[in-house]
Structure 1
Amino acid sequence: MSNSGVGAVNETRVKLKLTPVERKASFSLALLFASRMLGLFLLTPVFAVAALSIPGGNDATKVGLALGAYGLTQAIMQIPLGMASDRFGRRSVVVAGMVLFIAGGVICAMASDINWIIAGRILQGLGAVSAAITAWVADATRPEVRTRAMAMVGASIGLSFAVSLVLSPVVVGQFGLSGLFWVISLLGFVCLLVAAFVVPSAPRAAPPLVRVKPVDVLRHADLLRLNLGVFCLHFILMALFIVVPTVLAGLGGYGSAQLWQVYLPVILLSFVFMVPAVFYTETRKAHKAALQWSVLGLAVTLLLMPWASEQLLFMVAALVGFFIAFNVLEALQPSLVSRVAPPDFKGLALGFYNMSQALGVFIGASLGGLVITYAGASYVFLVCAVLALIWYGVARGMQPLKDA
């Protein structure tokens, strides 16, 4: 190989390494996101049972409202706070959002009945900072390493979900539902400290030569495709995990206190496969192909789940396949949004994106419960598979990236 060829290879390797500032920003923002997501996920595995200990907690409608209210207010506030982060800066918006999250958690911790928990969850949801955090990651990293940085944030979601399944029953068992909300509030305070003092400042992108309007973000075809994608991804996640605990309990006799024995190895093993997939995507600039293949893999895995759900080993293998695709998509899609969005409205674009994510969480959980009640678990898998196939068809129309 010629010296010029060797130099080009070395230059590519240097470009694909995170700088010290990028590394610090990526790790601290992943920690911030992980702590916040853990604070959200801790409630999900145990609330329906733990709520029976408080007045009104036996009303299934109000219990569902308490869980879902957070997602609805998150969806409403993602766009305003995404725009605010474009105008006032990421740090100030994230800190303000975490103050609301903590205040809502304290109200829930001190609640005397289910109605006060609903009020606290509404207030928590008003602190919708996902768009600002993901925009902050995009600001702090170069395009050629951004997917890797987003992978750290995306991986934090899966890891937080796994940790919540282990930690939540323990906390409720020791300190009750009120103690769980105090832990959630403490995690919010950790997020506030990280946002205020740990994450390094990142330069804003230079103003574009051609100005765009906010409505152009809403009309952007590829951004709409990515918004549909994150809606589908989180709809599928929430609907699936209404079914999966029951399936695992039936196949392996796992109670709520033992489910972590399946989830944690599945999540960790999926990370092992996710890392080379993300690295390959970056080095080969294969973002569009990686998106399409991951969605197709997700659809195939879901189509196989009704059959896999008849044997424990096959079900575990299917879950590993699901989380490989889920984690790659969780890392890839916000990176694509940050690349496609106009620089002046990156926070707004990520606001629409995270609003779609929150709606997917709320609607997926609600419809998943209805489907399993009136049709059965297998139909939940099939509904999710059909949705993934629709997503695959839409993703095929995405335009190639100029820098990828």
Structure 2
Amino acid sequence: MIGTGLSKTEKRVAFSLASVFGLRMMGLFMIMPVFALYGQDLVGFSPLWVGIAIGAYGLTQAMLQIPMGILSDKFGRKPIILIGLFIFALGSLLAANADSIYGVVAGRALQGVGAIAAAVLALAADLTRDEQRTKVMAVIGMCIGFSFALSLLVGPIVAQFIGLSGLFYMTAILAVIGMLIVQWLVPNPIFHAPKGDTLAVPAKLKRMLKDPQLIRLDAGIFILHLVLTAVFVALPLDLVDAGLVKEKHWMLYFPAFIGAFVLMVPLIIIGVKRNNTKTMFQVALLIMLLSLGIMATFSHDLTLLMVAIVLFFTGFNYLEASLPSLIAKFCPVGDKGSAMGVYSTSQFLGAFCGGLIGGGAYQYLGASGVFIAASVLIIVWLLLTLGMKKPVMLKSYTLEANIDDKPSAKLMAAQLSKLNGVVEAMVVLEEKVAYLKVDAHFDLRQARAVLGSTE
């Protein structure tokens, strides 16, 4: 169904770039369910440093995500992606050869320096038509979710046979495979998609930070990944204490993730059919809060921990899938790239803070302290959603504009704004494009007539 309307080249772009993204994210995620269990022989091992090691990549990702995207605009997408994957592989090798936890932290931080997310998404946009771009992004998004689920299965299985070092070597190999895919399977772009859709514009970042609706969503993704990382500092150790040997953790994680995916679907269907995303959003947070309460209260009951993990991922999966689309709905027209830049930075910063807070809470308060701290943050997020507006069901268009000077751009924007169904309109002279947000009454042919477009 996703492939409907995609050209052969666009299908190739979607699945090759989704593979690159997925391989890299697997390399980051595989350590999460196993590091607290298999890193205990490292010099300097402590719960605090376990958390820092798990989340270290988030700090460097947060710092470099936007700059790497801007560099890809200047020097080309593929060279920046290849450099990023090479740095990621180097970080993996550094961690693989470390005999102390501090060396692993350095390796994880170096992995994060290879911040290619913005460049990959921009390349996907460059290689796809506007009307098909959403489908391609959906394929990439689904692959990220699948890679996370797969990492919960592969990480514990691989670690029991080749250990922690072997896991990092495998991560380096995955990065090299990603480089080969980029070099040989991903087509070369011949033009850049409009920046407003794909890349953060530094001058607009301050504006994104002042928007109350976007701030709520940025705070949400920060808390979501903080909680995820913190939970995985404590949860593997809790499962061992509850009687599940570390070699069998995958037998719990994977079916739990599949069960959570099944339970998530009704939330999505109800939210879409009733146009009540905000309520489903809050329901997902309450589900996560319930799961954390069970983890904190019944840490030695394996059956209840299984139930808690299913509930946790039900809420997590729904929120992770919903947040990017809400960003797109709430961001000003033509500013999606900047809005997503702040969003991604918040996400990775949350992962770093989650490792730091999770490790510190476990070291001084135990596993229950981690889950209680995570619960408090979910409550804070729940309170933030009270002021969240109900998103309006609008479509976005990015169309070529036949303009040569600023007066004609202003006139065209004014004409577009008067068209039936147009909620927002912006024309950018430098990019020769028009950004539109429209409702169901919009007639695309009328807009193209104003733009002088023959698409």
Give runs of aligned pairs for residues 355-394 of structure 1, distance below 5 A.
355-394=345-384
Distance 1:23 1:340, change over 3 A: farther
Question: Which residue identity is paired with 2:87?
Answer: L
Q: Structure 1 pair 281/161, CA: closer, same or farther in 2 (3 Å)?
A: farther
Q: Residue 320 of structure 2 corresponds to which residue in structure 1?
A: 330
User: Quick check: 1:172 aligned with 2:162?
Assistant: yes
Q: Is the 8 A contact 2:30 2:152 kept in 1?
A: no
- 1:403 and 2:374 equivalent? no
Query: Given residue 20 of structure 1, which amino acid in structure 2 is its aligned partner?
Result: L
Cα distance per residue 1:301-350 (max 9 Å; x no partner): 32343344453222211211110111111111123224434565534433
Q: Is 2:307 aligned against 1:317?
A: yes
8 Å contact 1:105–1:185 — kept in the other structure? yes
User: Partners in 2 of 1:94 and 1:337 — Cα distance?
Assistant: 25
Residues 74-108 of structure 1: per-residue CA shift (max 9 Å, x gap): 22112212444566665554333212212333344
The alignment status of 1:224 with 2:215, answered yes or no, reads yes
Query: In 2 relative to 1, CA 75–142 (structure 1 residues): closer, same or farther, beyond 3 Å?
Result: same
After superposition, the C-alpha distances for 1:136-156 in whole angstroms (9 at most, x for unaligned) are 667857697689546514523
In structure 2, the partner of 1:104 is: 91
Q: Select the residue among 6, 20, 39 that pairs with 1:32.
A: 20
**Max Rg structure:** 2
- When the two chains are superposed, the root-mean-square deviation of aligned CA atoms in Å is 3.6
Whether contact under 8 Å (1:232, 1:360) holds in the other structure is: yes
**Residues 27, 316 of structure 1: alpha-carbon distance in 2 compared, 3 angstrom cutoff:** farther
SS at match of 2:247: coil
Matches within 5 A, 1:148-187: 149=139, 152-173=142-163, 177=165, 179-187=166-174
Specify the code of the residue in structure 2 equivalent to 1:158. F
**Residue type at the aligned position of 1:250:** D
- Any conservation in 2 of the 1:75–1:354 contact (CA below 8 Å)? yes
- Out of 180, 193, 213, the residue aligned to residue 204 of structure 1 is 193
TM-score by length of 2: 0.71
Q: 1:292 to 1:338 in 2, by over 3 A?
A: same
Deviations 1:260-290 (A, max 9, x none): 1111110121122334544554565544343
Q: Which amino acid aligns with 1:294?
A: A
The higher relative CO (CA closer than 8 Å, separation ≥ 6) is in 1
Question: How far off is 1:394 after superposition?
Answer: 1.2
Q: For 1:400, what is the secondary structure of its paired residue?
A: coil
Distance 1:142 1:398, change over 3 A: farther
Residue from 82, 94, 103 that aligns with 1:95: 82
Partner of 2:232: 241
- Asked whether 1:191 is paired with 2:182, we answer no
| Percent pairwise identity | 34
Structure 1 residues 213, 64: closer, same or farther in 2, change over 3 A?
closer
User: CA 1:192–1:290 in 2, change beyond 3 Å: closer, same or farther?
Assistant: farther
Q: Cα distance, 1:389 vs. partner? A: 1.5
What is the DSSP-based 3-state SS (H/G/I as helix, E as strand, rest coil) of the residue aligned with 2:57?
Answer: helix
Show the counterpart of 2:431: none
Q: Kindly state the Cα deviation for residue 39 of structure 1 after the two structures are TM-superposed.
A: 0.9
Hey, what's the Cα distance between the residues in 2 that align with 1:289 and 1:145? 26
Please give the alpha-carbon distance, in whole angstroms, between the structure 1 residues aligned to 2:55 and 2:78: 27
Give, as a single letter, the amino acid of the residue that structure 2 aligns with 1:37.
M
Q: 1:184 deviation in Å?
A: 0.9
Distance of 1:63 and 1:250 partners within structure 2 = 18
Task: For 2:273 and 2:144, locate their aligned partners in 1 and report how far apart those are by CA, in whole Å.
Answer: 19
CA distance in 1 between counterparts of 2:212 and 2:87 reads 34
Distance change (3 Å), C-alpha of 1:374 and 1:271: same
More strand by share: 2
Which has the larger helix fraction? 1
How far did 1:232 drift?
A: 0.7
Label 1:372 to 1:341 Cα distance change in 2 as closer, same or farther (>3 A).
same
| Partner-residue secondary structure (3-state), 1:370 | helix
Within 2, Cα distance between the matches of 1:193 and 1:285? 43
**TM-score of the superposition, structure 1-length normalised?**
0.78
Equivalent-residue separation in structure 2 for 1:312 and 1:109 (angstroms): 32
- The structure-2 alpha-carbon separation of the partners of 1:17 and 1:180, relative to structure 1 and needing over 3 Å to count, comes to closer
Change (3 A) 1:49 1:149: closer
1:213 aligned partner: 204
8 Å contact kept, 1:78–1:131: yes
Cα shift readout 1:90-135 (whole Å, capped 9, x = no counterpart):
5554333212212333344456776665544333221112344456
1:290 and 2:277 equivalent? no
Q: For structure 2, which runs of at least 5 residues remain unmatched after alignment? A: 395-455
Instruction: Provide the aligned length of Structure 1 versus Structure 2.
Output: 382
Q: Are 1:354 and 2:344 counterparts?
A: yes
Relative to structure 1, the CA distance from residue 269 to residue 388 in structure 2 (aligned partners, 3 Å threshold; closer, same or farther) is: same
Task: Write the distance in 2 (CA, Å) between the matches of 1:105 and 1:365.
Answer: 18
Deviates more, 1:32-41 or 1:16-25: 16-25
How many Å separate the matches in 2 of 1:230 and 1:96? 27
Deviates more, 1:184-193 or 1:322-331: 184-193
Contact 2:39–2:45 under 8 Å retained in 1: no
Pick aligned residue for 1:42 from 12, 16, 30: 30
CA offset digits 1:219-265 (Å, max 9, x no partner): 222222121111111111122222222332233x2121111111111
Secondary structure of 1:376's match? helix
